[in-house]
Copies of this chain bind each other. A is one copy, B any other.
Amino acid sequence: MHTGRTTEGVILAAGEGSRMNGRESPDHKALRKLLGVPLIERGVLALRQAGIERFVIVLGHAADALREDLGDGARLGVKIAYVECRDWAKGNGASLYAARNALANDRFLVAMADHWYEPAIPRRLIEGAHDGRNLLATDFQVDSVFDPDDATKVRVDASGAIRALGKGLTEFNALDCGLFVFSRDVFGALEHSFAAGDYSVSGAAGRLATRGRLDAVDVGDLVWEDVDAEETIRAARRKLIRSLPSRDDGLVSKLLNRRLSAPFSLVAIRLGLTPNAVSAIAFATAALAGVMFALGQPLIGGVATQLSSIIDGSDGEVARARFQASTWGGMLDSMLDRLSDGLILAGAGVYLMRGGADWWEALVVFAAIAASPMSMMLKDRYQLATGSKWQSQAHDGLARFLLASRDGRLFALFLGGVFNQVLAAVTFVAAGSCILLAWRLIQMWRRLHTGTPVGEEPAAA
């Protein structure tokens, strides 16, 4: 699709953060771990998700430690070449300049080894690349970082062009996130900047800005952090954890489950569980719930149902936290979810049957089992047919309050189990699913026949 797409990245990893320990350390701060993954590996993996396949990493301080950790990049699925910069202490511009002969392409992405950012930021930057312009990821929420005073400020005009940037800028409307797409222009700008005694990337970027050759790419609500001190590591960790939940959660997930799945995710990460292992635990818990309902223990069945729903939020969080998302993992998760739903509802059905239910109560169970997977199936079909993802948050409108998405259905069965109102819960699931299905069919019909555009999210990795 994008011809000439940026596929090469430079990571500036030469400098030691002056404030990290107050002294030269044998380790490199970019090797500090966030949720078990070193900062620099997070950078490499985030850029890989954005389509960067080949890296030039500029080394200086603690070069051997970085080289040992990253190797040739094969473990991370990329190719890494190293450049050592002797002048790194002068500034990160000297580091970038040292990469100039190692680059194969005319356009490349430049990142700082000691920044943490959501993987969607480099993706957005690369998608915004056009016409050989130089680009800088900028954050218009100027108090979003831990230490705005220390950040590089940016003044962006209405057209999106950057007019000025610098740490000391007094009139500004955005912050520099430390992610650039540069053409080779930047090396000329660096030379001019060096001649004036400024060895920073900002110096050269400021020169490009003055000449009207640097554009801003707004990161919107996406978050990042310049990790140059102990407190900022903790800030980055908090932001990372907050960034993990899926952005298309149902109401129950958002208001309740996520608060409980986040600690579970952290434990799972600490234990080294893979996302597929977490999916399997959620499935086993659902199977337990079904069996408990069937054995006439609706209270335990209901609690296990909700537990399974909460754990199920964790597999995606673990996958995103550790860059372990996979095609197979996504497929397995969605299948296990459907099977879980079937097992829980079947258990509830057996509970009702053993209590001497009428045939019409059985019919309600049949309807719940048949209808509950269909709204997801319809979303899949829509995406296959149109190429656009159906986004519940944006497109379901008021129907979201039916609580007929998976989190809502399982919550109803939880309540039904706890208050021994199983038939009411199953009826709620059946009715909600049928109404949501009908609602979606009508919405899709309208969109397909009026050509109402459906917004697209960047594809999940």
Contacts and interface: CB of A to CB of B under 8 A. Distances in A.
Contacts of A365: 362, 366
A3 to B, nearest CB: 9
Interface string A362-382: 110111011101101110111
Interface stretch (A135-143, A157-165, A334-342, A412-420): A334-342
A374 B335 contact: yes
Given A350-B362, A363-B346, A331 B377 contact: no
Contact of A334 (B327, B363, B369, B381): B381
A247 interface: no
A421 interface: no
A422 interface: no
B385 A448 contact: no
Contacts of A363: 294, 346, 349-350
A111 interface: no
A386 B380 CA distance: 13
A384 B383 contact: yes
A328 B294 CA distance: 40
Contacts of A382: 331
A292 interface: no
Per assembly, the copies of the chain total 2
Interface size class of A (residues with CB under 8 A): 35 or more
B378 A377 contact: no
Contacts of A353: 353, 359, 362
A328 B371 CA distance: 20
B327 A386 contact: yes
A304 interface: no
A132 B398 CA distance: 54
Given A346-B366, A362-B349, A448 B328 contact: yes
Q: Which of A342, A350, A353, A386 has the most CB of B within 10 A?
A: A353
A75 interface: no
A344 to B, nearest CB: 10
B345 A366 contact: yes
Given A362-B362, A380-B381, A345 B331 contact: no
A12 interface: no
A328 B380 contact: no
A328 B385 CA distance: 8
A440 to B, nearest CB: 9
A81 B134 CA distance: 45
Given A331-B385, A359-B354, A441-B335, A349 B366 contact: yes
A270 interface: no
A342 B366 contact: yes
A444 interface: yes
A401 interface: no
A381 B379 CA distance: 11
A380 B338 CA distance: 14
A356 to B, nearest CB: 10
A342 B371 contact: yes
A449 interface: yes
Given A334-B377, A345-B366, 19 more contacts: A330-B385, A331-B382, A331-B385, A331-B448, A334-B381, A335-B381, A335-B441, A342-B366, A342-B371, A346-B363, A349-B362, A353-B359, A362-B365, A365-B366, A366-B369, A369-B370, A370-B373, A377-B380, A383-B384
